[in-house]
A and B are shown apart, each in its own frame.
Chain A
Amino acid sequence: MRDRAGPASSAVTVAEPERPQFDAIVVGAGPAGSAAALELARAGNSVALLERGPFPGAKNVYGGVVYGRILDELIPGWYDEMPVQRWITRRQTMLLDGERSMTVDFRSQNWGRAPYNGATTYRAEFDDWLAGHAQKAGAVLVPSTVATRLLCTERGRVVGVRTDRPDGDLTAKVVIACDGVNSFLAKQAGLFPGDQAEHTTLGVKETLALPARTIDERFGVSGHEGVDIEMLGCTQGIPGGGFLYTNYDTLSVGLVLGLKGLAKAGKRPEEVLAELKRHPSIQPLVRGAELVEYSAHLIPEGGYDTMPQLVGDGLLVAGDAAAMCLAAGIWLEGVNFAMGSGMYAGRAASKALTSGDLGDLRAYRTLLESSFVLADHKKLRKAPELVLSERVQQRYPGLVCDLVEGMFTVENPRPKPGVRKLLRASAKRNGVKMRELARDALTGLRSFG
């Protein structure tokens, strides 16, 4: 049987290779890995970029939008060539409760023009495009190949990876693990702490075909403009959230569900999703659209406090493997953090390769801290917990809907109630103490403010 990568796989001890085959091996040709390989190859290093799927993106799923600013640095002029479905010009945050919903809806036509803000894309196309840039810069893409184990010297330095190919050991001076949310390589290196299930969510998504013109009409956009809707209160009590966004002639609608909450609820993910699609605010948007793909993937949502050690001996960890997804309620980002972390990992590795001192790999953390990648994560370290808390998940959507319904239900001949009184009544009805509300508001302000 071929060698396999899984939770039970372990590193193998090897003699230090006299002449490593590559300067660097990057495992995983997702946005983190391809960004790392691109930086390394550009700096003149020999790079192997391993991908377990038949092509980059084949194993990848995401729930939203690729934000482009980091691409300005990686691939200048990216927006003229990136495989884009629609440019997001309309961004909504929706709170759902029963048959009600309350939406904050923002539109900016600026986002539909260069230099753009964010776009929807298919990962099979986007990841392939990014990996293509790494290849053009000189990286060697090795698809259909699983990196099953780290190769380590007796002293614990990572000097390569074993693959599932015959005679598949590959050696390098540096290894960058961008092997995704399950990252068996980071686990083999002992860099991963704690109970992963606690802060991992399951994303399930349906891609639904709908004519482009119908999408334009239903979502109030035209041409290549698109909409991104993030939802809270649509997961039947399971901590998580929902999303709906427009591609050119398909919609992506899905849920993220906390694993522990899902276990407790005893519900099937696609049934929770079917319920969301029946909500009166969602049903008219997805009506008649036909399923073209169903997908699922894990998401590392815990943020800063759940990240593994990012630097090992001869090893760097980036992207989902390093829990770089930002799940902070109003901000839900991942691909940009993956590309950012990968880019800085590539730079730090280049520096170490030039100096010949593997201690220089530590620059990776410094680069991340002085950029959005760890600055945002650190600032928002309390946000994932707040967003997935019982009050935000199960009480606040109802509280907000009660408040707004109270404000706009005209009760003539009764005079209008004061907002403060309404808030107190709504809080009470939803089992929220004003003290708790104030405390959460403060935590929110400290994180988001």
Chain B
Amino acid sequence: MNQRYSDVSFEDRMSHVDFRVAEQPHIVVDTDVCRSCTTKTCVHACPANLFVPTAEGGILFNYEQCFECGTCYLMCDGGDAISWSYPDGGQGVVFRHG
């Protein structure tokens, strides 16, 4: 009960969110574009922490636990690096207490 919130791992944090995961990704990241990006703002700004830098300087992206907020495409400095769309109807995040 008295654990400190900083102790909640990110995985734990996201395990409390309901997602209806679609078979196809609704967001695709072109890691070749990311390699030349110096800011990589997406990595720290995405509230779901879905953008992971790779050893080769690119970005590994996982769409499954996406809040569909739009932060990444608005902040992206890499032009066309992020192909962004909402998931198909009925798929994706389902907030219960929003």
Contacts and interface: CB of A to CB of B under 8 A. Distances in A.
Interface stretch (A35-43, A58-66, A216-224, A396-404): A58-66
Interface in A243-268: 247, 250, 252, 259, 262-263, 266-268
A141 to B, nearest CB: 13
B86 A146 contact: yes
A433 interface: no
A298 B5 contact: no
B55 interface: no
A437 B47 CA distance: 35
Interface string A276-315: 0110000000111011111111100000000000000000
Max chain A Cβ within 10 angstroms of own Cβ: one of B10, B14, B84: B84
Contact of A165 (B10, B85, B89): B89
B98 A297 contact: yes
Interface in B40-98: 41, 44-45, 47-49, 67-71, 73-75, 83-86, 88-90, 92-98
B24 interface: yes
A287 B5 CA distance: 9
A144 interface: yes
A144 B10 CA distance: 28
B67 A7 contact: no
Contacts of A54: 20, 90, 94
Interface residues of B, number: 44
B86 A270 contact: no
Given A6-B86, A291-B8, A294-B13, A53 B94 contact: yes
Contacts of A295: 17, 67, 95, 97-98
Contact of B75 (A8, A60, A259): A259
A202 B45 contact: yes
A124 B96 contact: yes
B90 A268 contact: no
A274 interface: yes
Interface string A183-202: 00000000000001100101
Max chain B Cβ within 10 angstroms of own Cβ: one of A58, A250, A252: A58
A269 interface: yes
A61 B95 contact: yes
B83 A6 contact: yes
Contacts of B47: 202, 204, 269-270, 296
A143 interface: yes
Interface residues of A, number: 63
Contacts of A123: 95, 98
Contact of B98 (A124, A266, A268): A124
A293 B94 contact: no
Contacts of A182: 70
Max chain B Cβ within 10 angstroms of own Cβ: one of A62, A277, A294: A294
Contacts of A144: 89-90
Max chain B Cβ within 10 angstroms of own Cβ: one of A9, A61, A277: A61
A263 B4 CA distance: 27
A291 B1 CA distance: 10
A187 to B, nearest CB: 12
A259 B71 CA distance: 8
A1 interface: yes
Contacts of B85: 4-6, 8-9
A181 B74 CA distance: 12
A233 interface: no
A200 B74 contact: yes
Contacts of B86: 4-6, 52, 146
A39 B8 CA distance: 45
Given A59-B68, A204-B47, A293 B16 contact: yes
A268 B43 CA distance: 9
A22 to B, nearest CB: 18
A2 interface: yes
Contacts of A6: 73, 83-86
A287 B74 CA distance: 35
Contacts of A206: 5
Interface of B: 1-2, 4-6, 8, 10, 12-14, 16-17, 20, 24, 26, 39, 41, 44-45, 47-49, 67-71, 73-75, 83-86, 88-90, 92-98
24 contacts: A4-B85, A5-B86, A8-B85, A52-B86, A54-B20, A57-B95, A57-B98, A58-B94, A58-B95, A59-B68, A59-B95, A60-B98, A144-B89, A164-B89, A165-B89, A205-B98, A206-B5, A263-B45, A270-B47, A278-B6, A292-B16, A294-B17, A297-B67, A298-B70
Interface of A: 1-2, 4-9, 52-54, 57-62, 122-124, 143-146, 163-165, 181-182, 196-197, 200, 202, 204-207, 247, 250, 252, 259, 262-263, 266-270, 274, 277-278, 286-288, 290-298
Q: Enumerate the 7 nearest inter-chain pairs by beta-carbon distance, A residue then B residue, closest first.
A: A144-B90, A6-B85, A296-B47, A4-B85, A61-B98, A207-B97, A144-B89
